[in-house]
A and B are shown apart, each in its own frame.
Chain A
């Protein structure tokens, strides 16, 4: 076990105040599993009406008295220093309130960066923000201009005179490989791992493939631009932010600006898409500093170009996957290594080899990632970090080997399905990927696939089918609290600083709370999006739903205890402990003898109380350490490739998911579908055009950075096994990221089946198929 894992367990143990045995080895699964209540119902999004009526106020729509508007200047050079800085003309321009540069920026410490050992931290970059004249990457913010109107700010920004002294920059992937670093750990796993002699197996095996796969950089393109509206009142700070990390942001800001945590309020009730790109970047800090100096409320909304330049995206990768198999198709070697970019000041290792470590049984293994230091905007998490690009390489390789062996690719996977985690030997909590394949293959019509590539055609269009496995680890964040406030009238308010980036958090947690508290859905109010509420962990790692669910479960237990205490000796449930009752139909009910019951109303009336409130924290996520847990999928694709032009059109996509209990089929299907569309973009169109000579992104806009257009997206069929995970709250695992994984490989495999051409460089643009 690595140092990091020890650190994680250590931090977990410190939050172990009270811990139910639930979900742990020997413990009983969550009693809500299999209960037919609100969970599992097709509830519509509770925030839907607000969104479609334009009543949902996003962070750039909050109005404040006396507010002024900010424009940013981003460095056009990659490395060097600001040699000349003339702000006089800008300061004299109409409406200008402030020009903020490194000269008048308050001296601030480095923002603590997020990491697996510091879950409460939130920073994406360990670089100083506007603290000196140094330029460290192309796009770095070098000035903020504040004015009475946005137009005045934008105009004045063009009047700031800046001269640069350029220095050599490290911008070339290939050149940086010779000095690549090898981190000790990737997330919580040891980085370089060798089991047995994989190179020898590769040499001796009757069947093997050994290839390099490349994926380009990708940029975040959430529909809502990063934006803040912020104001100081003395030492009290209000920040309306578009963020996936409300409580951690409030903590970071208090430390950074040296004010009390209670005085910092971060509000983010609606977020127009996050995908990993909306944590903590430079724009929040410069806007807040400007507001403090100007003593005015400030709004800063990044331009689309600035999102490309100052918000990191997914690193390019170059991955080697090698597989060897014996005559029976049993793997004798699984190798997954490679290079990606991660500057020393960035936080995301793009863990593309982790999924492969849990994927297949083999005689030998070799895994390891190396990281390149380039002078670029710090790369960060982007939907399915690691597995999205890692599954492209691994699942393409499996397809290549299956073709070489003339075995159906699903059958090859079946022959190498592990019965426990292949490296650690840990038991799987639940794993139904083969069932997902069975269901998917049947529904998709996999038996219609021709095993021989290039044999199906419709006019000039060659058609083919492909499949691939997707996966994403189960994560439940440590800590995280909720408050439950229950009135005598049977209304419950469940509160925590959760984030809803559009996936339906408030809807699903309301459904959950209804079942957990034994109340109807319309008796539940779920409060979120505000750092004044009990702190929820950041929304990331597909972890938010189970993290909050665990906190609600803990609070419900505490509420039961509190109600038992208030019920008194005259109650039919007198003498029972919290573990001996459940909350059902607005009552405390004995588990052993359901006729022993007492209603919330009766209990609170007798106690002379209008309401009762409890706050509790989630149990430690020890299930993650005791079991191998991951969401999985079987992705199926049918693609057409023009024999004339090489154009690829995906005509059908099907995702068959194995993610435990599906809490709300409607919002879940939407999540899966969205993830799969992002995978389609990764496969066919998305590519950050990075000019390696200058270190500059050359397609920093949505016209030239191609996300799929409607015409690129076919009907997407989504199904799931729905098998509950006995080791997680509600039996659920994450669904936010698994949707993107496996899709690019399924498409590349379908293109191979259609054409006989194997493309190992994404995106699958037509020039690679001519």
Chain B
């Protein structure tokens, strides 16, 4: 590991000043960044510890929730209002990582965690356009079982690893950003950029901007929500496919639906096309598979991950059937 200096931010403004400096990186739980430093992927000059910033979880005037960026994943998953009003979020968090990692990891850090692609994480020997723009992608023709089937590009097919964020995009979460130019709010669904030709640019954050909080809108439908994660071992493995869903049914037809996927795209994937196709109709196997075919129309599966197409369709139907009381 390269030597670095360590600083502590005591306020958002403090963090903002430090974040803008050359080679400074914000440190939450360190569960990803410190690993990347050990592997030689990240080389910060200074780590700025932001865990002293807000870790409050409070109700907004509209009846939503405001979650401080430094909130630990475990604390968020365990919060009574999250468990009752947004159970999908609690379940998604608890499906991720291990208890020890969740105890350390912060909400903002989870959102900004980086690719788990083996080639991205191997600077000693592998090519990766995300790590070193223009160097090439060893995953496309290589080991790509865990990679994206949707939203990738010729330059990068890395899949976003978060579970929490899949639930957050299903819940229409907003990201509160603070920069030198002031504060702004961006929907999480629009926060991530697809790789295109610039996979090294992963979000719409401006240089020096920091995440201060996540806001959940009031969303009664979320009380009936579910998260299902499909993976290679029963715990501590990244999703091959995960599904977050909130649904309500009246008279046998879907009247409200939020559907999002993890493990299949470079960002947590909100399935708007499938939602549109399903709304107003019953949850049947045929309907869900047809809706998923629309959602996956532009999928570009590779040798190692084509199975995710069928897995995504099946898991989506199983989750929706379970949630709406249909028999699978």
Which residues of A are at the interface with B, using a C-beta cutoff of 8 A? 76-77, 138, 151, 154-155, 158, 459-460, 644-647, 649, 684-685, 689, 691, 693-694, 696, 698-699, 703-704, 706, 708-712, 765-767, 770
Asked if A710 contacts B118 (CB within 8 A), the reply is no
Set of chain A residues within 8 Å of B314, measured between Cβ atoms: 644-645, 770
* A23–B121 CA distance with the chains assembled, in angstroms: 57
Q: Which of A77, A151, A698, A706 contacts B232 (CB 8 A)?
A: A706
Asked if A709 contacts B143 (CB within 8 A), the reply is no
Q: How far is the CB of B114 from chain A (nearest CB, A)?
A: 14
Q: Which of A77, A647, A696, A708 contacts B230 (CB 8 A)?
A: A647
Q: How far is the CB of A682 from chain B (nearest CB, A)?
A: 13
> B236 contacts the other chain (Cβ, under 8 Å)?
yes
Q: Which of A77, A138, A154, A711 contacts B1 (CB 8 A)?
A: A154
Asked if B311 contacts A711 (CB within 8 A), the reply is no
Query: Which residue in chain B gives the minimum CB-CB distance to A650?
Result: B234
Set of chain A residues within 8 Å of B318, measured between Cβ atoms: 460, 644-645
Set of chain B residues within 8 Å of A704, measured between Cβ atoms: 116, 118
> B3 contacts the other chain (Cβ, under 8 Å)?
yes
> B153 contacts the other chain (Cβ, under 8 Å)?
no
Query: Which residue in chain B gives the minimum CB-CB distance to A152?
Result: B3
Set of chain A residues within 8 Å of B6, measured between Cβ atoms: none
Contact flag A710-B307 (CB < 8 Å), given A155-B2, A691-B143: no
Contact flag A699-B118 (CB < 8 Å), given A691-B143, A767-B307, A770-B310: yes
CB interface residues, B 209-240, toward A, < 8 Å? 230-237, 240
Q: How far is the CB of B322 from chain A (nearest CB, A)?
A: 9
Set of chain B residues within 8 Å of A644, measured between Cβ atoms: 314-315, 317-318, 328
Contact flag A696-B1 (CB < 8 Å), given A709-B233, A711-B235, A766-B230: no
Asked if B235 contacts A691 (CB within 8 A), the reply is no
Set of chain A residues within 8 Å of B325, measured between Cβ atoms: none
* A689–B2 CA distance with the chains assembled, in angstroms: 28
> B134 contacts the other chain (Cβ, under 8 Å)?
no
Show 25 residue pairs from A and B whose CB-CB distance is below 8 angstroms, ordered by the A residue.
A76-B124, A151-B3, A155-B1, A155-B2, A459-B328, A460-B318, A460-B328, A644-B315, A645-B311, A645-B315, A645-B318, A647-B230, A649-B234, A685-B232, A691-B143, A693-B142, A694-B125, A696-B125, A698-B118, A698-B122, A698-B143, A704-B116, A711-B233, A766-B240, A770-B314
Contact flag A709-B2 (CB < 8 Å), given A460-B328, A689-B118, A698-B118: no
* A349–B40 CA distance with the chains assembled, in angstroms: 36
Q: Which of A689, A699, A708, A767 contacts B233 (CB 8 A)?
A: A708
Set of chain B residues within 8 Å of A689, measured between Cβ atoms: 118, 143
> B141 contacts the other chain (Cβ, under 8 Å)?
yes
Asked if A712 contacts B118 (CB within 8 A), the reply is no
Asked if B311 contacts A766 (CB within 8 A), the reply is yes
Query: Which residue in chain A gives the minimum CB-CB distance to B142?
Result: A691
Asked if A158 contacts B315 (CB within 8 A), the reply is no
Asked if B311 contacts A158 (CB within 8 A), the reply is no
Query: Which residue in chain B gives the minimum CB-CB distance to A704?
Result: B118
* A704–B238 CA distance with the chains assembled, in angstroms: 9
* A704–B231 CA distance with the chains assembled, in angstroms: 12
> B119 contacts the other chain (Cβ, under 8 Å)?
yes
Query: Which residue in chain B gives the minimum CB-CB distance to A694?
Result: B125
Set of chain B residues within 8 Å of A767, measured between Cβ atoms: 145, 240, 307, 311
* A322–B66 CA distance with the chains assembled, in angstroms: 64
- Per-residue A-contact encoding for B178-189, CB less than 8 Å = 1, 0 else: 000000000000
Asked if A703 contacts B236 (CB within 8 A), the reply is yes
Q: How far is the CB of A410 from chain B (nearest CB, A)?
A: 29
Set of chain A residues within 8 Å of B233, measured between Cβ atoms: 684-685, 706, 708-709, 711-712
Query: Which residue in chain A gives the minimum CB-CB distance to B309?
Result: A770
Set of chain B residues within 8 Å of A460, measured between Cβ atoms: 318, 328
Asked if B143 contacts A765 (CB within 8 A), the reply is no
Set of chain B residues within 8 Å of A770, measured between Cβ atoms: 307, 310-311, 314
Q: A76-B124, A138-B125, A647-B230 are in contact. List 10 more A-B contacts (CB 8 A).
A: A647-B231, A685-B233, A689-B118, A693-B142, A696-B125, A698-B122, A698-B143, A704-B116, A766-B311, A770-B310
Set of chain B residues within 8 Å of A708, measured between Cβ atoms: 233
* A766–B230 CA distance with the chains assembled, in angstroms: 9
Asked if B234 contacts A693 (CB within 8 A), the reply is no
* A696–B125 CA distance with the chains assembled, in angstroms: 8
- Per-residue A-contact encoding for B22-41, CB less than 8 Å = 1, 0 else: 00000000000000000010
Q: How far is the CB of B276 from chain A (nearest CB, A)?
A: 24
Q: Which of A158, A645, A696, A698 contacts B2 (CB 8 A)?
A: A158
**Majority SS of interface residues in chain B?**
loop
Set of chain B residues within 8 Å of A696, measured between Cβ atoms: 122, 125-126
* A689–B116 CA distance with the chains assembled, in angstroms: 14
Asked if B234 contacts A709 (CB within 8 A), the reply is yes
Set of chain A residues within 8 Å of B119, measured between Cβ atoms: 698
Q: How far is the CB of B229 from chain A (nearest CB, A)?
A: 10
Query: Which residue in chain A gives the minimum CB-CB distance to B1?
Result: A154
Asked if B230 contacts A645 (CB within 8 A), the reply is yes
Set of chain A residues within 8 Å of B235, measured between Cβ atoms: 709-712
* A155–B3 CA distance with the chains assembled, in angstroms: 7
Q: How far is the CB of B289 from chain A (nearest CB, A)?
A: 13
* A76–B116 CA distance with the chains assembled, in angstroms: 19
Query: Which residue in chain B gives the minimum CB-CB distance to A681?
Result: B233
Set of chain A residues within 8 Å of B234, measured between Cβ atoms: 649, 709, 711-712
Most chain B beta-carbon neighbours within 10 Å: one of A460, A765, A767, A770: A767
Asked if B141 contacts A693 (CB within 8 A), the reply is yes
Set of chain B residues within 8 Å of A684, measured between Cβ atoms: 233
Set of chain A residues within 8 Å of B142, measured between Cβ atoms: 691, 693, 698
Set of chain B residues within 8 Å of A706, measured between Cβ atoms: 232-233, 237
* A212–B149 CA distance with the chains assembled, in angstroms: 31
* A499–B100 CA distance with the chains assembled, in angstroms: 33
* A703–B161 CA distance with the chains assembled, in angstroms: 13
Set of chain B residues within 8 Å of A699, measured between Cβ atoms: 118
Q: How far is the CB of A645 from chain B (nearest CB, A)?
A: 5
- Per-residue A-contact encoding for B121-137, CB less than 8 Å = 1, 0 else: 01011100000000000
Q: How far is the CB of A292 from chain B (nearest CB, A)?
A: 28
Set of chain B residues within 8 Å of A646, measured between Cβ atoms: 311
Set of chain B residues within 8 Å of A766, measured between Cβ atoms: 230, 232, 240, 311
Query: Which 4 pairs show the lowest CB-CB distances between chains A and B?
Result: A711-B234, A76-B125, A767-B307, A698-B118
Query: Which residue in chain A gives the minimum CB-CB distance to B228?
Result: A645
* A711–B230 CA distance with the chains assembled, in angstroms: 14
Q: How far is the CB of A588 from chain B (nearest CB, A)?
A: 58
Q: How far is the CB of A665 from chain B (nearest CB, A)?
A: 29
Set of chain A residues within 8 Å of B307, measured between Cβ atoms: 767, 770
* A712–B311 CA distance with the chains assembled, in angstroms: 21
Set of chain B residues within 8 Å of A694, measured between Cβ atoms: 125-126, 138
* A649–B310 CA distance with the chains assembled, in angstroms: 20
* A154–B37 CA distance with the chains assembled, in angstroms: 12
Query: Which residue in chain A gives the minimum CB-CB distance to B118?
Result: A698
Query: Which residue in chain A gives the minimum CB-CB distance to B141?
Result: A693
* A163–B233 CA distance with the chains assembled, in angstroms: 40
- Per-residue A-contact encoding for B311-325, CB less than 8 Å = 1, 0 else: 100110110000000
CB interface residues, B 228-262, toward A, < 8 Å? 230-237, 240-241
Set of chain A residues within 8 Å of B2, measured between Cβ atoms: 155, 158
- Per-residue A-contact encoding for B287-328, CB less than 8 Å = 1, 0 else: 000000000000000000001001100110110000000001
* A706–B310 CA distance with the chains assembled, in angstroms: 23
* A703–B235 CA distance with the chains assembled, in angstroms: 11
Q: How far is the CB of B121 from chain A (nearest CB, A)?
A: 9
Q: How far is the CB of A638 from chain B (nearest CB, A)?
A: 16
* A709–B100 CA distance with the chains assembled, in angstroms: 14
Q: How far is the CB of A325 from chain B (nearest CB, A)?
A: 35
Set of chain A residues within 8 Å of B1, measured between Cβ atoms: 151, 154-155, 158
Q: How far is the CB of B143 from chain A (nearest CB, A)?
A: 5
Q: How far is the CB of A755 from chain B (nearest CB, A)?
A: 15
